[in-house]
């Protein structure tokens, strides 16, 4: 039982690090607390509750988590501090030792966060006096089974619907399966109900999030394609984006369905990680460059205007200069739109540490720079192809007197001048003609039709 009366009038601050999944979970916690009478504290105000949802994707992320926790504790003296997320799962004892942390919840406990908070809240005074260390709850990876349902509005117009959690792949550089457990998902029926709820609240666009979304169905004996078909029927939702799909799990049938679907937009985000078959083998990825190229070409054949974002890691162990060259040439040859480039980071406990060839930091930066330049060229060419064309744009809230921004279905950022912008365009899909690049080259200017 949660004693909501104890929380009436309290204030909370939230800090999220990492992926869209974490952001979606944090906003669900925030909404639950809001329904219990807790309001979000202003920046300058000291909060009664601080929640930090952590990430552990790199060493830098770990360091940043510790910094944020220290800062939240320092800026909110006496607040009840909860830390959850991947870093809290992997390093629960370390986090619990940080002065001022009251509760550390691993990935399995996340789903019951509010119950844990309520239980701990009741004994907070005595616990604060006695304990120098926070209380922590986390179980081993194999026992992480819970699923925290989560569909909430992000900072802008989009909703984030969590359709899956965990991963069974164990790529050699990755700690996610240790932090989030094995793949699991809720039923299609429950996800459709959440999408209907978002539509009732006025939601127009939903981003499907998860760790390995294409693996959807493991728990329920359903398939990702069935989920896509069911969500496509939800009235009121006009756009769905799929946040990321492993190349080997993008069925040709899924591509064909998206091309004909009512609301799934021509926008894909695919983690390639390396364009060298040698490196893909070292990473234990489950596809080769040939399969990847086939998926990209099929997407472009069925949806010529599709925006395709690709994740690439540079400087991973074993990436010799000639393999990086292969990667660069492969990416250059493909009709993709944008690269998300990540320098490899050593993670304790991963199999990649046994690969002897190491790339130094300077070389990693050089490789990242080269790929980012390629990415800029490709994105710019993609935008330029659309100048003069008509498009539908979902506009986002803007300050009065400022330009409004929004995205086309194929993810081109669009700018509407202050003279054309109107408050009521927020969260509206409007028809525009796309013009030239704006002053900082981040968007195309648009005229309403
Ligand atoms: S597919 Fe590989 S990289 Fe992605 S979460 Fe799973 S183990 Fe990590």
Q: How far is the CA of 138 from the centre of ligand 1 (A)?
A: 21
Query: DSSP 3-state assignment of 15?
Result: strand
| CATH domain 390-448 topology | OB fold (Dihydrolipoamide Acetyltransferase, E2P) (2.40.50)
From first to last of the 449 residues of the chain, give the pLDDT tens digit: 667 777 888 999 999 998 888 888 898 888 888 888 999 999 889 999 999 999 998 888 999 999 999 999 999 998 999 999 999 989 988 999 999 998 899 888 888 888 888 887 776 544 444 445 666 666 566 566 677 777 777 656 789 999 999 999 999 999 888 888 899 999 999 999 999 999 999 999 999 999 999 999 989 999 999 999 999 999 999 999 999 999 999 999 999 999 999 999 999 999 999 999 999 999 999 999 999 999 999 999 999 999 999 999 999 999 999 999 999 999 999 999 999 999 999 988 899 999 999 999 999 999 999 999 999 999 999 999 999 999 999 999 888 889 999 999 999 999 999 999 999 999 999 999 999 999 999 999 999 99
d(CA 307, CA 379): 9
Nearest-CA residue for atom 4 of ligand 1: 212
Decide if domain 4-139 falls under CATH 3.40.980.10.
Answer: no
Nearest to residue 228, comparing CAs of 435, 278, 237? 237
In ligand 1, the atom with minimum distance to the C-alpha of 177 is 7
Which residues does a 6 A CB cutoff place in the pocket of ligand 1? 167, 169-171, 174, 176-177, 211-212, 246
Which of 176, 179, 248 has most ligand 1 atoms within 8 Å of its beta carbon, as the pocket-test mutant?
176
Which of 20, 167, 178 has most ligand 1 atoms within 8 Å of its beta carbon, as the pocket-test mutant?
167
In ligand 1, the atom with minimum distance to the C-alpha of 180 is 5
Q: Where are the domains of the chain?
A: 4-139, 151-385, 390-448
Which of 19, 56, 212, 347 has most ligand 1 atoms within 8 Å of its beta carbon, as the pocket-test mutant?
212
Nearest-CA residue for atom 2 of ligand 1: 171
Which distant-in-sequence residues (6+ apart) come within 8 Å of 193 by Cβ?
A: none
Instruction: Give the per-residue pLDDT at 156.
Output: 61
Assigned CATH for 151-385: 3.80.30.20
d(CA 294, CA 250): 11
Show the CA angle centred on residue 357, arms to residues 354 and 361, nearest 5°.
Answer: 110
* Token output for 228: 């896509």
* Token output for 235: 């009235």
Instruction: Give the per-residue pLDDT at 140.
Output: 60
| pTM for the whole structure | 0.87
| Same fold flag, 4-139 and 390-448 | no
| Size of the chain in residues | 449
In ligand 1, the atom with minimum distance to the C-alpha of 285 is 2
């Amino acid at each position: 039982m949660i004693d909501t009366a104890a929380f009436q009038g309290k204030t909370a601050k939230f800090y999220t690090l990492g992926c869209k999944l974490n952001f979606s979970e944090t906003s669900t916690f925030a909404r639950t607390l809001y329904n219990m009478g807790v309001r979000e504290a202003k920046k300058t105000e000291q909060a009664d509750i601080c929640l930090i949802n952590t990430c552990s994707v790199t060493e830098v992320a770990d360091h940043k988590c510790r910094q944020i926790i220290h800062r939240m504790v320092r800026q909110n003296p006496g607040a009840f501090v909860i830390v959850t997320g991947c870093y809290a799962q992997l390093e629960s004892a370390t986090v619990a030792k940080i002065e001022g942390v009251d509760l550390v919840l691993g990935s399995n406990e996340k789903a019951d966060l509010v119950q844990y908070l309520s239980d701990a809240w009741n004994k907070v005074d005595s616990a604060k006096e006695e304990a120098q260390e926070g209380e922590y709850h986390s179980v081993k990876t194999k026992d992480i089974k819970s699923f925290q349902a989560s569909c909430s509005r992000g900072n802008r117009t989009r909703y984030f619907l969590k359709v899956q959690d965990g991963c069974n792949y164990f790529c050699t550089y990755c700690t996610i399966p240790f932090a989030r457990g094995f793949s699991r998902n809720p039923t299609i029926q429950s996800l459709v109900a959440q999408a209907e709820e978002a539509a009732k609240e006025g939601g127009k666009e939903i981003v499907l999030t998860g760790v390995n979304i294409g693996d959807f169905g493991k728990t329920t004996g359903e398939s990702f394609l069935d989920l896509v078909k069911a969500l496509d029927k939800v009235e009121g939702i006009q756009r769905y984006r799929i946040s990321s799909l492993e190349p080997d799990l993008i069925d040709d049938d899924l591509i064909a369905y998206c091309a004909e679907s009512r609301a799934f937009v021509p926008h894909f985000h695919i983690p390639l990680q390396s364009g060298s078959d040698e490196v893909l083998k070292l990473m234990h990825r489950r596809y080769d460059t040939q399969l990847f190229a086939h998926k990209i070409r099929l997407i472009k054949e069925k949806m010529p205007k599709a925006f395709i974002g690709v994740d690439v890691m540079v400087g991973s162990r074993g990436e010799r200069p000639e393999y990086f060259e292969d990667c660069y040439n492969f990416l250059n040859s493909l009709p993709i739109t944008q690269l998300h480039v990540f320098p490899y980071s050593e993670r304790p406990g991963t199999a990649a540490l046994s690969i002897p060839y190491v790339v130094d930091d300077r070389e990693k930066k050089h490789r990242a720079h080269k790929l980012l330049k390629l990415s800029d060229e490709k994105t710019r060419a993609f935008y330029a192809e659309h100048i003069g064309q008509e498009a539908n744009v979902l506009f986002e809230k803007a300050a009065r007197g400022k330009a409004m921004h929004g995205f086309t279905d194929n993810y081109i950022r669009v700018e509407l001048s202050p003279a054309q912008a109107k408050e009521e365009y927020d969260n509206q899909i409007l028809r525009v003609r796309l013009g030239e690049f704006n002053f900082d080259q981040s968007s195309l200017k648009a005229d309403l039709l």
